[in-house]
Amino acid sequence: MQSHSPRNPDKTLPPGSTIGILGGGQLARMMAVAATRLGLNTHIYSPDANCPAALVAEKIIVGPYNDLDRVLEFSQSCDVVTYEFENVPAMTAKAAASAVPLRPGARALNVSQDRLEEKSFLRAQLDLEVAGFEDITSIHDLRRAVKRLGLPSVLKTRRFGYDGKGQVILRSEADIDGAWEALSPAPCILEAFIAFDREVSIVAARGLNGEIAAYPLTENIHRNHILHTSAAPAQNDDGSAAKIAAKILDHLDYVGVMGVEFFQMKNGQLIVNEIAPRVHNSGHWTQNAGCTDQFEQHMRAVAGWPLGDARPRQGVVMTNLIGDDVADWKTLAAQAGTHVHLYGKSEVRAGRKMGHVNRTK
């Protein structure tokens, strides 16, 4: 619950208002650019003064996320605070929300930060299909869970996993000890391995008044556990994924853009893999599809504006530029129908997202 009273009684933040963003990576950078187009200002809170968002925002406040006085000072300079990553510490979120509205709210962070909370929430409260899972706190738990869920299965840390980090596939019983050694003592879950037909996602927004705008289904291909391409609109979209996303958004009384990732089985069944309470890499294609892009949509939602049109006018395939891929920027920039988006990261590292290209169909 937010204890402050909004500065603006009709809750719509007019142009000239300031949106605070916790985190200064590429997602914050693209949000800041979108906000600027709407005449909104952005202040960034990041531990890194040279983060990708620093060059495009009005102001950067540098500090660690656990410096609650600094977070409070930052929040007081804003009209609303949002975030670009789900691992915002609970205390940081609380400090921000004590000064101004935090959108999306703390509950969305709470359920998406922890895979056990997330899967329990989706299954028990929303009756949604998720991969079978077990809570793992010891090697004995793991041995028992492998018997229950079978092999292959995937051991994942409950927190701080991304792009395949913090997860190990178990293919035989001989892998159990090694997997536990690799991830313990972090609390983990074991997930049944899903023999999916394809991976798809939905990016959808919910406004302050409860209106929902979902982008069409997107088909995602991962390489080395990192998203490689997202193609939208995906073939064979019967609307079920958007309905699931709407159910999650409504249940959380969510404000902003959310990404929902699914495994889809051959028979069409959708299994929710995870939810991200933020703009999502599989929604970058929206920037060149002729609709309101996800970054502007998020800025609109958190500022209490009407949501924009989420219907693409053309199909787009987004390809991430990972590590050295970015060296091709000049060739890509010369290709017709190819839109290059670079994140301004000075250091190229293997596995690091340096930019993306959107190719229109």
Q: Could you say which residues in the range 149-168 bind ligand AMP, by CB under 6 A?
A: 154, 161, 164
The answer to the question of residue 11 lying near ligand AMP (CB under 6 A) is no
Q: From the CB of 300, what's the least distance to ligand AMP, in Å?
A: 27
Choice between 155 and 354, CB closer to ligand AMP = 155
Which of 49-57, 170-178, 189-197, 353-361 is the region at the interface with ligand AMP (rule: CB under 6 A)? 189-197
Q: From the CB of 164, what's the least distance to ligand AMP, in Å?
A: 5
Q: From the CB of 21, what's the least distance to ligand AMP, in Å?
A: 23
Choice between 41 and 320, CB closer to ligand AMP = 320
Closest CA relative to residue 131, chosen from 148, 144, 143: 148
* Measured CA distances, 216 to 40, 260, 316 (Å): 27, 12, 11
Dihedral sign for Cα 315, 201, 88, 71, please. positive
What x/- string results for residues 95 through 134 when contact with ligand AMP is judged by CB under 6 A?
------------------------------------x---
Give me 22's structure tokens.
């916790």
Among 175, 191, 219, 293, binds ligand AMP (CB under 6 A): 191
- Enclosing H/E stretch for 244: helix 240-251
Q: What share of the chain is helix, strand, coil (3-state, %, to 5)?
A: 30, 30, 40
SS3 at position 114? coil
Q: Could you say which residues in the range 273-302 bind ligand AMP, by CB under 6 A?
A: 273-274
Q: Where are the alpha helices (DSSP H) in the chain?
A: 26-37, 68-76, 90-97, 106-112, 115-120, 139-149, 176-183, 240-251, 294-302, 329-333
The answer to the question of residue 219 lying near ligand AMP (CB under 6 A) is no
What x/- string results for residues 232 through 261 when contact with ligand AMP is judged by CB under 6 A?
-----------------------------x
Q: Indicate the length of the chain as a whole number.
A: 361
Give me 143's structure tokens.
């041995």
* Measured CA distances, 3 to 76, 94, 101 (Å): 14, 11, 9
Backbone angles phi, psi at 198, to 5 degrees: -160, 165
Q: From the CB of 277, what's the least distance to ligand AMP, in Å?
A: 15
CB-based contact 219:232 (threshold 8 Å): yes
Backbone angles phi, psi at 199, to 5 degrees: -110, 130
Which of 98-106, 190-198, 284-292, 345-353 is the region at the interface with ligand AMP (rule: CB under 6 A)? 190-198
Among 134, 199, 219, 325, binds ligand AMP (CB under 6 A): 199
The answer to the question of residue 223 lying near ligand AMP (CB under 6 A) is no
Choice between 131 and 322, CB closer to ligand AMP = 131
Give me 342's structure tokens.
């670079």
Backbone angles phi, psi at 144, to 5 degrees: -65, -45
Choice between 168 and 205, CB closer to ligand AMP = 168
> What is residue 194's DSSP assignment?
P
Whether the bond between 152 and the residue before it is cis, its omega within 30 degrees of 0, is yes
The answer to the question of residue 193 lying near ligand AMP (CB under 6 A) is yes
Total binding residues toward ligand AMP, as defined by CB under 6 A: 13
CB-based contact 304:6 (threshold 8 Å): no
Give me 174's structure tokens.
């001989």
CB-based contact 244:128 (threshold 8 Å): yes
SS3 at position 185? coil
Choice between 85 and 193, CB closer to ligand AMP = 193
Choice between 227 and 332, CB closer to ligand AMP = 227
Among 147, 222, 223, 243, binds ligand AMP (CB under 6 A): 222
The answer to the question of residue 194 lying near ligand AMP (CB under 6 A) is yes
Contact residues toward ligand AMP (CB under 6 A) are 131, 154, 161, 164, 191, 193-194, 199, 222, 225, 261, 273-274
